[in-house]
Amino acid sequence: MGQSKLLLPLKEKPVARHCLETIIASGIEDIVIVLGMDGDPLAKAVDGLPVRIAFNRNIESDMAESVRAGLHQVDTGSSGVLICLADHPLVSVETFRTLVRSHIEDPDKIMIPSFLGRRGHPTLFPMPVVREIFSLQSLREVVHKDPDRVSVIPVTDEGVILDMDTPEDYKKICDNI
């Protein structure tokens, strides 16, 4: 994108802040945001929100490494962890609530939302599965390790599949808000 997509404006605020405010509005309270090399401007963009910040300054790392950095700050009493991608800024409050409710009903399953049959984000991992993230190479590997422990949750929220990887994606996101 040529710039930090998480600092792009969405409804007159940075994308990262928009995502976090949605998560907060859903009732999720223990929130850790992982920032990378461009973390200082992002930290300012989310200043004042009730979140803890972790850093992954390794520019060569993958998403799993960022997740590992954040997991070190997660409350060990949590029953699960929602892995949310800030480049999916249109996930609705109701989708977050649906995933949490599904986790409460079936706490041993990995919860993945789907829109019209397409799997999306965020993904909710039960704590015993979260620990595997430290020993396996990728989150995809964790999900595919045992398909019987995955529950795909149909949602009416297209935001679970809309991400921002290109300027065209960003325009589509802005047009859908």
At 96, the pLDDT band (50, 70, 90 cuts) reads: very high
The verdict on whether omega for the bond into residue 9 sits within 30 degrees of 0, i.e. cis, is no
Q: Which residue has the higher pLDDT, 9 or 58?
A: 9
Give the tens place of pLDDT for each residue, 22-62.
Answer: 999 999 989 999 988 767 888 888 899 999 999 887 777 77
pLDDT at 91 over 90: yes
pLDDT on residue 49 = 94
What is the identity of the amino acid at 104?
I
* pLDDT value at residue 11: 86
Please say whether the beta carbons of 82 and 158 come within 8 A. no
pLDDT, residue 119, reads 95
Domains for the chain: give ranges and CATH numbers: 5-176 (3.90.550.10)
pLDDT band for position 1 (50/70/90)?
Answer: low
Residue 19 reports pLDDT greater than 90: yes
Q: With contact defined as beta carbons under 8 Å apart, do 80 and 124 qualify?
A: yes
**Residue 21: both structure tokens together:** 């405010």
- Between CA 33 and CA 108 the distance in angstroms is 24
In the beta sheet, which residues pair with residue 108? none
Please say whether the dihedral angle defined by the alpha carbons of residues 46, 47, 49 and 54, taken in this order, is positive or negative. Answer: positive
Mean pLDDT of 5-29: 92
pLDDT higher at 24 or 5: 24
Helix (H) or strand (E) holding 105: helix 93-105
Amino acid 137: pLDDT:
65
93-105 and 15-25 helices cross at what angle (nearest 10)? 50
Q: What is the mean pLDDT of residues 65-89?
A: 88
pLDDT at residue 42, as a whole number: 86
Per-residue pLDDT tens over the stretch 103-159: 999 999 999 999 999 999 999 999 988 878 777 667 788 888 888 999 999 999 999
